Structure 1
Amino acid sequence: MRTRQAIAGSALFFIAAPGVVAGLLPWLLTDRYRLPWSTLPGLVAVGWLLIVVATALLLHAFARFALEGLGTPAPVAPTERLVVGGIYRHVRNPMYVAVLAIILGQALLFSSAALVAYAAVAAVAMVSFVKFHEEPTLARRYGAEYEAYRHAVPGWLPRLTPWRPTRDDRPR
C-alpha cells in the first residue's frame, strides 16, 4: 500500500473506529456532553490530561501504522510490515489503551458513572478482540518477528523503557 493511501485509509478508520467509540458514543451517553462538569477541579484537570495525552498518543499510533507499517489499523487494509516503533516499543496495543483513557478522561470530566461502565464494556470487547483475533492473525502473518515482539512488549500496561529489538528479534 502506498504511503498516501495508507494515510488516507488510516484517517478514515480513525473517524470510523476511535471517533465513534471515544467520541460519538460517549457524547450520546452523557446526553451530548450537557452533564455538568465535575465539581472537583482535580477531576476536571486529570480528565483533561487523560484526554489530551491519550489523543496525542492515539494520533501517533495511527501515524506509525501509515508511515512505518505502510497500511492501516483496519483489518481490511493491514500493514505490510509489523509496527514496532515509537509508542509500540512501550505497549503492543496503544490505540486501545488510548481510546480507553479518553473515555475514562471523559468519565472524570463529567462525573459519569455511565462512561465508567461503558469503558469497562469497551475494555472487555477490546481485550477479547485482541486475544481471539488480532494476536492469532499477527502470529500467522509475521511469525517469529511478532512472537519476539509479543514476548518483549506488554499488551496493556506500558513498559517504562522502550523495547529495543536484538538481532535475534529481527526478521531474516
Structure 2
Amino acid sequence: MRSRVAAAGSGMFFALAPGTVAGVVPWALTGWEAGAAPLPSRVAGALLVAAGAAVLLHAFARFVGEGLGTPAPVAPTTHLVVGGLYRYVRNPMYLAVVTTILGQALVLGRPILFPYAALIAATTATFVRLYEEPTLRARFGAEYDAYREAVPGWWPRFR
C-alpha cells in the first residue's frame, strides 16, 4: 500500500516539478518552434533529451521502490535512496532536468534555453546546499554523512 501511495505522489510531483521546469517553461520560452540548428546539433540534443528523461524516470522510480516515498519535500522517503544512479552521483534528478533543457536548446536551435538551463542549475544547487543537504542530514544522520562522503554531488563517479 505504501508503494502505491508513493507512486501516485511521485507521479503528481513529476508532472508538477520537472514537468513545469523542463516542459512548460521551455515551451513558454520557445513555443516549441525550431530555429536554425544543424543536424548534428539536433541529434546531440535529442540524445540529451532522451538521456535526461530516462534518468528522471529512473530516479523517480528509485524514490518509490527504494525510498518508499516521493522526491517532494512534503512527502519524503522513509529510507535514504542510495541505489541505482544514486550510487554514482547524489543529484541525478537535477542533472537530468538541466540536461533535458540543454538538449531542447540544441534540438530547437533556441539559444534562450542556455541561460535558462544555467538559471535552473544555479537554483537547484542553491536549494540542495541550503535546504536538501541539511534536511537529509537531520533526517538520516550518520547514514547520510557516509553517503555524502562516498558519492559526489554533481560530477558522477563511475567506479
Name the TM-score class by shorter chain. Answer: over 0.9
What are the equivalent positions in structure 2 for 1:80-119 lying under 5 Å apart? Answer: 80-119=78-117
Deviations 1:99-140 (A, max 9, x none): 000000001111222100100111111000000000000001
1:5-154 matched pairs, under 5 angstroms: 5-30=5-30, 32-36=31-35, 38=37, 40-154=38-152
Structure 1 outlier segments of 4+, above 2 Å:
none
2-structure distance, mates of 1:144, 1:71: 20
Residue 35 (structure 1) shift? 2.8
Deviation at 1:37, TM superposition (A): 5.1
SS of 1:17's partner is helix
In the alignment, the residues of structure 1 paired with residue 143 and residue 6 of structure 2 have an alpha-carbon distance, to the nearest angstrom, of 22
1:69-93 deviation line (CA, Å, top 9, x unaligned) = 0000000000000000000001100
Is the alpha carbon distance of 1:29 and 1:77 closer, same or farther for their aligned partners in structure 2, counting shifts above 3 Å?
Answer: same
Contact 1:37 1:44 in 2 (8 A): no
Residues 37, 109 of structure 1: 8 Å contact kept: no
Aligned twin of 1:158: 156
CA distance, structure 1, for counterparts of residue 101 and residue 13 of structure 2: 18
Q: Which amino acid aligns with 1:33?
A: W
Amino acid at match of 1:77: A
- Structure (1 or 2) with the greater helix fraction: 2
**What stretches of structure 2 of length at least 5 have no aligned partner?**
none
Superposed CA RMSD in Å reads 1.0
Contact 2:34 2:107 in 1 (8 A): no
Deviates more, 1:1-10 or 1:84-93: 1-10
User: Would the alpha carbon gap of residues 4 and 116 (structure 1) be closer, same or farther in structure 2, given more than 3 Å must change?
Assistant: same
Q: Distance between the aligned counterparts of 1:153 and 1:108, measured in 2? A: 30
Task: Verify the 8 A CA contact 1:103 1:119 in the aligned structure 2.
Answer: yes
Partner SS, residue 69 of structure 2: coil
Residue 166 of structure 1 corresponds to none
TM-score (ref. length: structure 2): 0.97
Amino acid at match of 1:154: P
Seq. identity, %: 57
